[in-house]
A and B are shown apart, each in its own frame.
Chain A
Amino acid sequence: MVTMVQALNRALGDAMRADPSVVVFGEDVGTLGGVFRVTDGLTKEFGPDRCFDTPLAESGIVGVAVGMAMQGLRPVVEMQFDAFAYPAFEQVASHVAKLRNRTRGAVQTPIVIRVPYGGGIGGVEHHSDSSEGLYAQVPGLKVSTPATVSDAYVLLREAIADPDPVVFFEPKRLYWSTAEIDLPASAPGSGRAEIRRPGSDVTLMTYGPSVPLALEAADAATAELGLDVEVLDLRTLVPLDEASIIDSISRTGRGVVVTEAPSFAGPAAEIAALAHEHCFYSLAAPIRRVTGLDIPYPPPAYEHHYLPSVERILDTLLDLEWEEPFTRAA
């Protein structure tokens, strides 16, 4: 039995063993092993020159990572929580993402920025943002977000080996999810979506923390509505596996995008637009979105209003154009 945290930890350790240019640093990642224990034991095994704590300054952390990359290192930095990554945004958008282009490829920035993200953990304010859309819109960055334990291992290893910078979004609420697998895990690489549940009536397109939710909703839709629901896990937002989205929607003719990120100008809007542009003649209904609300992430007592739920997904499925209107079983 392996947890997602263990898979991420093993991915970091294996990458550091395989490549001495990999260095890991951030806030509390050394002695403590990270507030989520993802870097547990790395300082002990690899020494304080390979995994270490830094002053508390996110822009500085990413900024020094840029300098290290200029010298051929592969820094993997941890932002302690989603909303605490914002101070580093200037370094990410102006340097990490652009240095390769600015220098016509003379300088690469093979930096991985790990961001624990998303809600559903009862966190007080500033601990539950889904900011992946902000980064997905910055040319030069890749954006990865695993939903399974195997993917956590495989996608992180791939991100570290990637010559391009990757913002690696780790769904906090899945940190303690488990799988019966052996490490090192195997899975397809980045840029490829995976069908987690095949279906023929409608496709739920989703990623990261919303994948288990979509699977639950798909089971409920089968049980309650007799619908055969496909669940497509996108796995990486940049690059996006457009072919798999187009293929699935062309087959089912209906789609709903499920994300925790807010709806307006968010990843779900991009995915819906893509499906409309490419699958217009196959569509029996407009692509719909079930997303976080366009409000600041609420306090724990209110977060059930914000988060996509099985209920909201089922309501949206019902609301798609069907030849025979549905009535829900119970």
Chain B
Amino acid sequence: MRTSADHHETSTTRLLPSPVPVRFLDEDGRLGPEDERGGFAIPTDEALLETYRWMAIGRRFDTEASALARQGRLAVYPSSRGQEACQVGGVLALGSEDWLFPTYRDTVSLVVRGIDPVESLSLLRGEWHCGYDPVASRVAPQCTPLATHLPHAVGVAWAARRRGEDVVAMAFVGDGGTSEGDFHEALNFAAVFGVPVVFLVQNNRWAISVPLEIQTHAPSLASKGVGYGVRGEWVDGNDAVAVTAMLADAVRYARAERAPVLVEALTYRMAAHTNADDDRRYREASEVDVWQRRDPVSRLESYLVNTGALVQDDIDAVAKESESLAERIRDGLAGDVREGADDVFAHVYAHPPERLMRQRADVLAAE
């Protein structure tokens, strides 16, 4: 007879992540030993080529947006340089009916999801808080109050399930965000409700200037799942092969089991927190150099070139596509932001109080 201690043992083991991050590629993009792969299979060449294409585009997008921020064409830009595998792997794992819940740092993921690149920058341009229709695109507005969007993902998944719809919600959060109460409440609700939510922690080691050691004493952020009865997985976030395999599996599992999954991707924030931040005040350049050698884009590129799946013509074609995207953004952001005072009153309420309408009339009259 199984004792409850046995039960505890097996269910705990089943939920725990691997003791080291799952990875397929070494730092030079060569396939590593099979026992590091956590039992996951290598994704198809087709899937990896699509991942590569978007990662290269994402890198170019990020470079362009960073430049535009320096030129003052964006109000602020939090770069995701170095996190391309997560930005792309997460989104490509989703089906068209699924939902994405991004943060301020995940603008590249919006573009991968199909949001117009100029509209994707609306928030960071200071044009409007959200430049796209979240319901039509199934992408929630980028969330800035840390971790507060995670319960929303649970609510969306719950409501979809009640309607009998097959919808997975994927929510991004940073390592710092895992210290917020809403992270824990969302994991707990998702497990208790039994809803398919993939929580993707992009552990980029820094929360502005605060290092991971000050956020947590846990062996890994992925291991936080077990306390909620949530399966945890730990992956090398700069290994696009591992991230693609892991997230495709996480989405499949969430859908099939109607259960949440917590994935921690170990990565690194290559740029400062935003263009307004000075990272020399809190970290050594040598640390950044170490991670430069693990660059996810060149790692995947080497791997695909070595296997023969990717040839120079493909690389050139992607570079060309990236360049035209960068040009579109530059053109799209060239003019001044169009704004009218009416906008700030128009959507506060469906039925605004009279008082608000009087303020509106006063402001419009003064324009």
Contact = CB atoms under 8 A, between A and B. Distances in A.
B129 A164 contact: no
Contacts of A98: 129
B159 A103 contact: no
B347 A100 contact: yes
Nearest to B182: A59
Contact of A239 (B148, B152, B186, B353): B353
Contacts of A62: 151
Interface in A154-208: 162-164, 191
B350 A63 contact: no
Interface stretch (A4-12, A88-96, A221-229, A319-327): A88-96
B7 interface: no
B155 A55 contact: no
A109 B230 CA distance: 29
B128 A55 contact: no
Interface string B182-197: 1001101100110000
A99 interface: yes
Given A67-B158, A67-B159, A60 B188 contact: yes
Interface stretch (B21-29, B68-76, B130-138, B302-310): B130-138
B181 A67 contact: no
Interface stretch (A30-38, A69-77, A144-152, A304-312): A69-77
A107 B138 CA distance: 11
A64 interface: yes
A66 B349 contact: no
Interface string B113-147: 00000000000000011100111100011000100
Contact of B134 (A57, A101, A106, A164): A106
Contact of A70 (B140, B150, B163): B140
Contacts, number: 142
Nearest to A57: B185
B189 A57 contact: yes
Contact of A139 (B158, B182, B348, B354): B348
Interface string B142-171: 000100101111111111101100000100
Contacts of B157: 67
A87 B148 CA distance: 12
Most B C-beta atoms less than 10 A away, residue of A63, A72, A106, A164: A63
A105 B347 contact: yes
B148 A94 contact: yes
A91 B150 CA distance: 11
Contacts of A63: 148, 150-152, 154-155, 182, 185-186
A103 B349 CA distance: 12
A164 B155 contact: no
Nearest to B136: A106
A191 B353 contact: yes
Interface in B229-266: none
A253 B306 CA distance: 88
A140 interface: yes
Contacts of A94: 145, 148
A67 B136 CA distance: 15
Interface residues of A, number: 46
B364 interface: no
A135 to B, nearest CB: 14
B156 A71 contact: yes
A103 B145 contact: no
B355 A239 contact: yes
A70 B151 contact: no
A49 B162 contact: yes
Contact of B135 (A70, A139, A191): A70
A107 B135 CA distance: 7
B53 to A, nearest CB: 30
Contact of A64 (B158, B346, B350): B158
A94 B152 CA distance: 12
B2 interface: no
Given A63-B151, A73-B159, A162-B351, A101 B185 contact: no
A209 to B, nearest CB: 23
Nearest to A109: B350
A66 B353 contact: no
A309 B298 CA distance: 75
A90 B155 contact: no
A240 interface: yes
Contacts of B148: 59, 63, 90-91, 94-95
Given A65-B155, A71-B156, 11 more contacts: A54-B192, A57-B188, A57-B189, A67-B151, A70-B134, A72-B159, A100-B347, A100-B348, A100-B350, A104-B343, A105-B350
Interface of B: 128-130, 133-136, 140-141, 145, 148, 150-160, 162-163, 169, 181-182, 185-186, 188-189, 192-193, 343, 346-351, 353-356
Report the 10 A-B pairs with minimum CB-CB distance, sorted nearest first. Answer: A67-B155, A63-B151, A60-B185, A71-B159, A239-B353, A64-B155, A163-B350, A102-B129, A67-B152, A67-B156
17 contacts: A60-B154, A60-B188, A64-B151, A64-B158, A66-B151, A67-B151, A70-B156, A100-B349, A102-B129, A102-B141, A104-B343, A106-B136, A107-B134, A107-B135, A162-B351, A163-B351, A239-B354
